[in-house]
Amino acid sequence: MVIVRSLVFSFGWAILTVVFGVASLFTVMLPFTYRYRIISQWSRMTLRWLKISCGLDYQVEGREHIPQGNAIIFCKHQSTWETLVLQEIFPIQVWVLKRELLWIPFFGWGLALLRPIAINRKEGRKAMMQLLEQGIERLRQGLWVVIFPEGTRVAPGQRGQYHKGGAMLAQRSGVPVVPVAHNAGEFWPRHSIRKYPGTIRVVIGPPIATEGRTAAEINRLAEEWIEGTMRTISAGTTEPIPEEG
């Protein structure tokens, strides 16, 4: 039944993507805030369809840690799921992503209209400068910036290298970093069509102050909190999450 329900979800998701991809083209002339609210309904409807079709829901801990002002989100990256749910949890946001995603029909159309920081990973220093320049610009405009510091999805129980780009943006902008951990990969595995029923646990950590800290220190604090929390989530415990920052 997992396969059947997963196929049903994928069919409905494809329809949603086509509908919103076409509809997004009619929002081009709208102010960004309105455009974001309309196009981001795709992710909200996807999550509701996921719950209906696959029985997969989620719970959030640590909402009280979300600051009043904008911040940079450092999120664990295990699946596609977290790219959807962050739009429900946090205020209006943009994402740092690989530019190839913009080339996907329908999906890429809507994504391109949401002002992402789309970088070419092969360009090295040029990509870093783009991240810093556009990231600071978005933050000054009051937007949140979402970064997956590992750069790519990792399987549950594994950790990737935490790249320095996000930490450098945080250090130069002076805005706090909000770390996020979750166990979505246990229910929506990478490179798999299967979506298992259950409840994904999302934990939001206390903001990490960045003023007066080096990029290396910011990266270390974020990694320690995220990976420490991942061990707690994977163990299924209810122990308090240690605070940092």
**Residue 244 resides in a domain:** no
Query: Helices (DSSP H) in 123-207: which residue ranges?
Result: 125-140, 165-173
Residue 243 counted as domain residue? no
Q: Is residue 201 domain-resident?
A: yes
pLDDT band for position 235 (50/70/90)?
A: low
C-alpha neighbours within 13 Å on the C-beta side of residue 119: 23
List pLDDT tens digits, range 23-65: 999 999 999 999 999 999 999 999 999 999 999 999 999 999 9
Domain range for 191 is 2-235
Please report the pLDDT score of residue 236 as a whole number: 58
Indicate if the pLDDT at residue 136 is higher than 80. Answer: yes
Within a domain: 152: yes
> What's the whole-number mean pLDDT along residues 155-180?
95
Predicted pLDDT at 122: 82
State residue 242's pLDDT score: 39
Distance linking the first and last C-alpha atoms of the chain: 45
- In this predicted structure, what is the pLDDT of residue 121? 81
Q: What is the pTM of this model?
A: 0.91
Instruction: Work out how many domains the chain is built from and give that number.
Output: 1
Handedness of CA 118, 119, 120, 126 (dihedral sign): positive
- What is the CATH classification number for the domain harbouring 208? 3.40.1130
Residue 97 in any domain: the answer is: yes
Domain membership of residue 189 (yes or no) is yes
Q: Is residue 240 a part of any domain in this protein?
A: no
The whole-number average pLDDT for the span 111-138 is 92
Asked if 233 and 183 touch (Cβ cutoff 8 Å), the reply is yes
Q: Give Cβ neighbours of residue 165 (< 8 Å, ≥ 6 apart).
A: 96, 127, 128, 131, 132, 147, 149
Tell me what the mean pLDDT of segment 120-135 comes to.
Answer: 91
**Whether the predicted pLDDT of 240 surpasses 90:** no
Q: pLDDT tens digits for 185-205?
A: 999 998 899 999 999 999 999
Dihedral, CA of residue 144, residue 149, residue 153 and residue 156, to nearest 10: -110
Note whether residue 178 is domain-resident: yes
- Measure CA 41 to chain center: 16
When the pLDDT of each residue in the chain is averaged and rounded to a whole number, the result is: 93
